[in-house]
Amino acid sequence: MFSENASLLVIDGRYVLDEKLGAGGMGIVYRATDRLTGGVVALKRVQVQPAAPGESDSESLEVVLSREFQMLAGLRHPNIISVLDYGFDAEHQPYYTMTLVENARTILEAGQNQPTAEKARLIGEMLLALAYLHRRGIVHRDLKPRNVLVTPAGQVKVLDFGLAMTDDQPESAAGTLDYIAPEVLGDQGASPQSDLYAVGVIAYELLSGVHPFRTADAGDLVRSILYKTPDLSLLNAASQNGSSESRTDASSTHVARALLPGMGETPTMLVSVLPPTMPGPPEPTPASPDPASDKAVDVSGLAALVGKLLQKSPTLRPRSAEMALAALQSAADVAVIQESAEIRESFLQMSPFSGRSEEIGRLRAALDQARAGRGSAWLIGGESGVGKTRLLDELRIRALVEGALVLRGQGLAEGGLPFQYWREVMRRLALITALSDIEAGVLRSLVPDLASLIGRSVPEPPAMDGSGAQQRLIMTIIDVFKRQRQPILLLLEDLHWADESLEPLRQLIRFAGEQPWLIVGSYRTDETPDLPEKLPEMKHLPLARLDEAAIAALSSAMLGEAGRQRSLVDLLKRESDGNAFFMVEIVRALAEEAGSLSAIGERTLPVHIFTEGVKTIVRRRLARVPAWASPALTLAAVAGQQIDLKVLAAGAALSEDEWERWLTVCVNASVLHRVDDVWRFSHEKLRDALIAALPAAERAALHRAVAQAIEATYPHDPAYAERLAEQWFAAGEDRLALPYILRTVDTLANLTGEYARALKWIDQGLAITADQPDLIDARLDLIQFQGKVYGHTGALDDAYVTYSVGLAAANERPKMRIVMLNGLSRVRWQRGAFAEAKADAETALALAVELGDRESLAASLNTLGNAAYRQGNWTLARRCFADAMTLYDALGIRQQVAASLTNLAILAAYEQDWTTTRGYFEQALSVFRAIGDRYGVALCLSNLGGVATYQRDWESACDYMEQGLSTFRQSGNRYGEVDTLAGLAAPQIMLGQLEAAWETICTGLRLGQQVGATRALIELIIRSAQYCEERGDLHLSAALAGFAESHPAADAETVQFWILPLLERLAAHLAAERFAAAKATYAGASIEAVIAALLNVGAPTALAGRS
């Protein structure tokens, strides 16, 4: 281990620095462990120094690094190192991570003692990387042996783009003197030909063992580069004398320099290399051709190519890397130079972003606004394959470069876990956020491995019922977001599969305008065309298909100049109709037919490509997967859209090495792809086709295998209950599915509040347990869950029938009879049958006393207290609530303790014992705060404001109400917000804060209409009447009070305490005839019409008889 500032041993909360690999003037490279994935990466941490006087921002190292990241993040090629992540550490220094290649060597070291054919192969792979870069408009400008590494498997990897440039960036002389082209020294600017010059120098060293010029004196080296012709005879001599040894005076010290800061050049090694004193790993057999293969090498032709690459004038060098490859191919017939499927995919899948300049411009502007603290939310819609994911990828790169924290959540068509979209998002945030025990306990339902992520045990959170638990979870998510200090880009893909996950999104959107957040979701318009209506707060950004100009640009990006041929563009336009996904598939099919991408433009094009559209595409892709890899791929399809490699490893007979090969071939076939550390099917239709092709018996067997693998991989993990229920059910193993169905329903009904999904599983469970006497206990559990869900959703008739059926079935199970009786009692008093409700509760209480079960006894006391309260028997209600509270306190069920205190407070309020009322609410508030129940906290604060209002303590009332209003807004409870706004306006009026009161009233009226809170709207109309009274408009005040008095939503308490006193005051100041006329002004009007009149700028007009 190394000595390092403790705050930097973990970068950005995610990367643990394990070992220093190299250091130099620009920064340090480490081997690091990714806490999110458990994988090992290379992390480059760059020290950004303040700009020198007169130095422009464009010249700063930070800008250089950002440019490097932008380019690397968009590159995907087998001969180029892939960038994974980017950010800023605790000292605000930029870093980025990339694939770590263990035990890599420089191209010169890898070529030592190798036959000429193998050296030609290495040169060929280096040229393949340059061909890819140059087609993307990128000039490397610092190509040298240390930036061209070779893996133990013999694959060339080009890296370190800190000095690279794109076509639209200003040029300046830069690079390493040993490999810099003459024209760059002469200030003519870098070009693809200057990169080819560096290839020539490296090839010369590789083939001869020495640099083409003397390098000891910099002045002599510059003169040689500009004027001296290299001696090509050394290349022929080296080949005739056998494999050359690389020189040791310069090239062999590259690795040592990489590991020792301050020596010569400023190294920025991105991968692990072996010091020259250590023996390298043995070369794999495929990478070490037999010396006899040198017979196929035309050494003079090879020397001629190197000479052409080293020409002083760039115009005399090969015009492109492809032309250099062709010359190399003619001199050394090496198979690897042929276009592989992996290389083809790099051009097809990662071509430059095109055709969406307007859309990306709007999103980048929104990102700039978010960074300034004015966030927003966007919803990108379009058909499958139109380019939504690519647009998000481009935005992600821009956000990372600008220092934003990028969070990404993605939905699944099936097999997803509760709140699927938020799981990876919260895993990432948990690494960089100090969580309380309650927050950690709440989030563990989303992040099962939270304890290992944050490095401490996570206690269970206090128990809460379904709606309360869901609100607590949502509020915890929002609180964690609000504690972040850096800008956030939140990407939520495939929202057409979202259900419960939309609720946290809605709540976050409400705060986005005042936060540095850019929230961007995507969805398929053909799946859920009405999604923008469900998320009206999001700005809709529809993606149309590409136009002809964009089609030509994308074609050119994939194929070079051949891609602009009129006939090819016409074919792509006709066959794809501007769908980017179909365009890529068409070019892939043409390349497979022609033998390579470059050969497409040389052949006569067909009239049609895909006769059956997407079905043909799916068949072609799946056919590219070799037979040995197909069983594991089919198993993955049965397991779900997202690939869980641990589960697959437990269910398929492949070795660790074979899994790596399996991933490679599936990626090369474009069947799988990786999104932020998660492997997925490239398109769900690929997965659907694999499943549809399975015979029923084989499909069932695979579902069984997946279920067993999940059980073995995640034993007793409640987060996987629903997936196991799905897999066992699909396997036809109903009884094995049943325990997981029960756990799933418990989570959905009591934790996340996903009632529709819970009812689906309840129905399946009831079907399994029907006419099965030995499963009666499970059946009764399902029935009581069903009754509870119906009650929560307001389906009281269904709840009544369900509890009645459950009561009959639970004849010999007293504890379950108590549950059903309490459920029936709740339904009855909600329907107004108070006497029957009391009778059911008393029967349940008697059974609980006989059974001696304290929790059943407490629940029955609570139920009886509610029934007695609604009957007006407050003495009995008070005794029941107090006894229930004592029992719940002894049992440690704190949410129910707080609920009992709230019930006691309401009883005291009805008796106008305000001191006792206030005391109970304050006790309940303390408990709700302790258990993290934000809704309970808001409710107590609002009620305390109501108590202060009745006591005419107007200032305390305002204070409590404003706290409650803020908490309701934070929790996203809009009904509570409307109620509190109605309550807040009263003390504001009494304090003479009329402008504030009118703003409160108008806000409440608008929000109340949105959520349909009729009772609160009536109270706000009463506040409007009070406001008018204070302003001296007695006629309008009487009109509003008269309307409120006659409305059925005005309860007796409101009429008694607010309306009648107001009408009495108005009657005392208005003539009887005028008062009566004023009261009747809005007779027969609808509440919507009255509110519309109130919200007009001018005075409301008479609305008599309007509806």
CA angle 552, 341, 691 (to 5 degrees): 95
Structure tokens at 620: 């072609």
Q: Which long-range contacts (CB under 8 A, 24 or more apart) does 44-49 make?
A: 44/95, 44/96, 44/97, 44/98, 44/268, 44/270, 45/8, 45/11, 45/89, 45/93, 45/94, 45/95, 46/93, 46/94, 46/95, 46/268, 47/93, 48/93, 48/94
DSSP summary character for residue 752: I
Instruction: For residue 1066, give the nearest of 1040, 1096, 1035 by alpha carbon.
Output: 1035
Structure tokens at 1014: 């009729």
| Backbone torsions φ then ψ of 139, nearest 5 degrees | -105, 130
Report the SS3 class of residue 273: strand
CB 433 within 8 A of CB 484: yes
172: Cβ contacts below 8 Å, ≥ 6 apart? none
Q: Which residues of 416-448 are buried (b: 16+ CB within 10 A; e: fewer)?
A: bbbbbbbbbbbbbbbbbbebeebbbbbbbbbbb
Instruction: For residue 43, give the nearest of 106, 92, 99, 103 by alpha carbon.
Output: 99
DSSP summary character for residue 434: -
Give dist(CA 790, CA 779) in Å, integer.
Answer: 16
891: Cβ contacts below 8 Å, ≥ 6 apart? 854, 855, 858
Which residue has tokens 């394990």? 18
* Identified catalytic residue from 142, 644, 840, 933: 142
CB 355 within 8 A of CB 387: yes
In sign, the C-alpha dihedral spanning 572, 578, 584, 589 is negative
How far apart, in Å, are the Cα atoms of 407 and each of 131, 433, 478, 518, 584? 33, 14, 14, 10, 28
- Residue 142 known to be catalytic: yes
554: Cβ contacts below 8 Å, ≥ 6 apart? 351, 354, 355, 546, 563, 580, 583
How far apart, in Å, are the Cα atoms of 142 and each of 22, 124, 158, 195, 309? 18, 18, 11, 8, 16
CB 520 within 8 A of CB 494: no
In sign, the C-alpha dihedral spanning 184, 188, 193, 195 is positive
Report the SS3 class of residue 263: coil
How far apart, in Å, are the Cα atoms of 522 and each of 178, 193, 400, 649, 855? 49, 42, 19, 32, 46
Instruction: List, in sequence order, the alpha helices (H) in 228-340.
Output: 233-240, 254-259, 299-309, 321-331
Give dist(CA 123, CA 303) in Å, integer.
Answer: 13
Structure tokens at 289: 């051709």
Give dist(CA 949, CA 986) in Å, integer.
Answer: 8
Measured torsion, CA atoms of residues 359, 361, 366, 370, in degrees rounded to the nearest 10:
130
In sign, the C-alpha dihedral spanning 688, 694, 696, 699 is negative
Which residue has tokens 């051009």? 347
Give dist(CA 804, CA 202) in Å, integer.
Answer: 85
Q: Strand pairing of 488-493 and 517-524?
A: parallel
Residue type, 942: S
Report, as residue numbers or ranges, the catalytic residues.
Answer: 142
